[in-house]
Amino acid sequence: MITIKDIEKLASLSRISLKEDEKESFTSEIDAILGYIDQIKQATSSTSDDLKNNSDLLVKNILREDEPRDVDASIGASSGKHTENLLHASPDRDGQYIKVKKIL
Task: For 15-46, write each residue's pLDDT tens digit.
Answer: 999 999 999 999 999 999 999 999 998 887 76
CA 94 to mean position of chain CA atoms? 43
Burial of 36 from C-beta contacts in 10 A (0-12 / 13-18 / 19+): exposed
Task: Map out the domains of the chain with their CATH numbers.
Answer: 4-57 (1.10.20), 64-104 (no CATH)
Please enumerate in sequence order all residues whose Cβ is within 8 A of that of 92, keeping only pairs 6 or more positions apart, or say none: 98, 99, 100
Task: For 58-92, write each residue's pLDDT tens digit.
Answer: 666 777 777 766 555 555 555 566 788 888 888 89
Q: CA-to-CA distance for 104 and 98, rounded, in angstroms?
A: 17
Amino acid found at 100: V
